Amino acid sequence: MKSGLEDVVAAETKLSDVDGAAGRLIIRGVSLDDLVATSRYEDVVALLLDGLFDAHIDAASIRSQLGAARVALFAHVEAADPADPALLALPPVDAMRALLARIEDGDDLASAIRLMAAPAVFLPAVLRLQNGDMPIKPDASLSQSGDILRMLSGRVPTTEQTAGLDAYLVTISDHGLNASTFASRVIASTHAGLTSSVLAAVSALKGPLHGGAPGPVLDMLDGVGKPENARAWLSHALDHGERLMGFGHRIYRVRDPRADALKTALKPIFASGQADAGRIALAEAIEAAALALLRERKPDRPLDVNVEYYTALLLDALGFPRNAFTGVFAIGRTVGWIAHAREQTLDGRLIRPQSRYVGPLPKAA
Ligand code: COA
């Protein structure tokens, strides 16, 4: 038995390949760097879903279908009681999940479009309600990224901000058989439907060992405060058995390529004065100190920067509160969960592994 199923191959996929030794990510035949440089969110949706539904898929039609779906889904926000404690008191990702659970299960492209549009509408609405503001209606004419930022702040985002969110959503669209994607495939293997797959995946994603890390990364940046405090602060955390959030990965033994893609994406936002440039200098100082300390303390386990580290900086600069970062991750990863669910339904069998019983036996035995 492999603890955590490490190194176990549990599916064949044409969707993405994570090469942990080389630090390389390929999404449907395109390297991450090329994908981020050339694609918007809608392009990567078309790339990932192509051939998985009985319908023609291209980026332009995805953009208009997502826009229409966002507008239609706003009815769920309008129908919700704005004083409902499930919306106001839950962490944003949980409130978003509660709204997602109202979408009926299905297996066609229309169901997939609804599920990709839904978190983009529900997360900004939940955040505004929790802040005492009225949710803002979607604008079907905008791209998914542009509309998310507009529904969040009430202002039309700048080109740099929209490009930054696009780069983020593209970068995190799919990533092999991570815990939430595996959860999505397990549910899909029972033919329960895409909503059920996505709900299971969101539930797996929210844990701090998976998609719940970027909020704590920002807490760490705030805790360190100044570059010169980095080594002492991080040493203290490690002395107390804490893990440094944004470092380490099950597959990557080198730098996570998504970290650099995001670092590149956030630079125009900081360079144009739309965010505090001192944050990048602080993040770089903490990164250097953390890598040095991890090398000293865990010489046998290569630990490097992962995707969550620069996610924290980017999403903060785009105006998302830190308790919403996991929800934004879910907005971007939903296309990957759906693509894997469809691949599983089309080509796979019921996933039903064995366990080895190590408990007590009945007396007679
Ligand atoms: N900080 C300090 N030590 C770390 C560490 C981190 N971020 N990540 C791993 N380690 C250490 C563990 O303490 C363990 O040491 P030990 O063998 O002396 O006990 C060793 O490295 C192996 O850790 P393990 O938990 O077995 O590795 P994993 O493959 O199961 O864990 C993560 C992968 C991502 C869960 C882990 O690196 C982690 O917790 N990182 C921080 C959270 C995070 O950034 N999550 C986002 C992932 S994209």
Give 68-110 pLDDT, tens digit per residue: 999 999 999 999 988 888 888 999 999 999 999 999 999 999 9
Position in ligand 1 atom list of the atom nearest CA 4 = 30
For residues 181 and 144, membership in a common domain is answered with yes
For residues 29 and 98, membership in a common domain is answered with yes
Number of Cβ atoms within 10 Å of the Cβ of 19: 14
User: CB of 295 closer than 6 A to ligand 1?
Assistant: no
Give the bridge partners for 161, in sequence order: none
For residues 110 and 199, membership in a common domain is answered with yes
User: CB of 298 closer than 6 A to ligand 1?
Assistant: yes
CA–CA distance, 122 with 118 (Å, rounded to integer): 6
Q: Is residue 365 part of a domain?
A: no
Identify the domain containing residue 270 by its residue range. 214-317
For residues 190 and 338, membership in a common domain is answered with yes
Q: Is residue 134 part of a domain?
A: yes
User: CB of 246 closer than 6 A to ligand 1?
Assistant: yes
Q: Is 249 a catalytic residue?
A: yes
For residues 51 and 90, membership in a common domain is answered with yes
Give the bridge partners for 25, in sequence order: 18
For residues 248 and 168, membership in a common domain is answered with no
Q: By alpha-carbon position, which residue is closest to atom 20 of ligand 1?
A: 301
User: CB of 86 closer than 6 A to ligand 1?
Assistant: no
Q: By alpha-carbon position, which residue is closest to atom 40 of ligand 1?
A: 248
Look at the chain and report how many structural domains it folds into: 2
Q: Is residue 356 part of a domain?
A: no
Q: Is residue 296 part of a domain?
A: yes
For residues 220 and 247, membership in a common domain is answered with yes
For residues 279 and 332, membership in a common domain is answered with no
Number of Cβ atoms within 10 Å of the Cβ of 9: 7
For residues 165 and 20, membership in a common domain is answered with yes
What pLDDT shows up at residue 365? 64
What pLDDT shows up at residue 277? 84
Q: Is 296 a catalytic residue?
A: no
What pLDDT shows up at residue 76? 95
Catalytically annotated residue among 249, 287, 340, 343: 249
Q: Is residue 23 part of a domain?
A: yes
Q: By alpha-carbon position, which residue is closest to atom 41 of ligand 1?
A: 245
User: CB of 209 closer than 6 A to ligand 1?
Assistant: yes
What pLDDT shows up at residue 234? 97
For residues 291 and 179, membership in a common domain is answered with no
Q: How crowded is the C-beta side of 159, counted as CA atoms within 13 Å?
A: 2
What pLDDT shows up at residue 5? 93
CATH number at residue 284: 1.10.230.10
Query: DSSP letters along 141-162, please?
Result: TS-HHHHHHHHHHSSPPPHHHH
For residues 146 and 220, membership in a common domain is answered with no
Q: Is residue 66 part of a domain?
A: yes
Q: Which two tokens stand for residue 156?
A: 């039309």
Q: Check if the beta carbon of residue 217 is closer than 8 Å to that of residue 246.
A: yes
User: Which residue ranges of the chain lie beneath pLDDT 70?
Assistant: 365
Q: Check if the beta carbon of residue 23 is closer than 8 Å to that of residue 255.
A: yes
CA–CA distance, 277 with 256 (Å, rounded to integer): 23
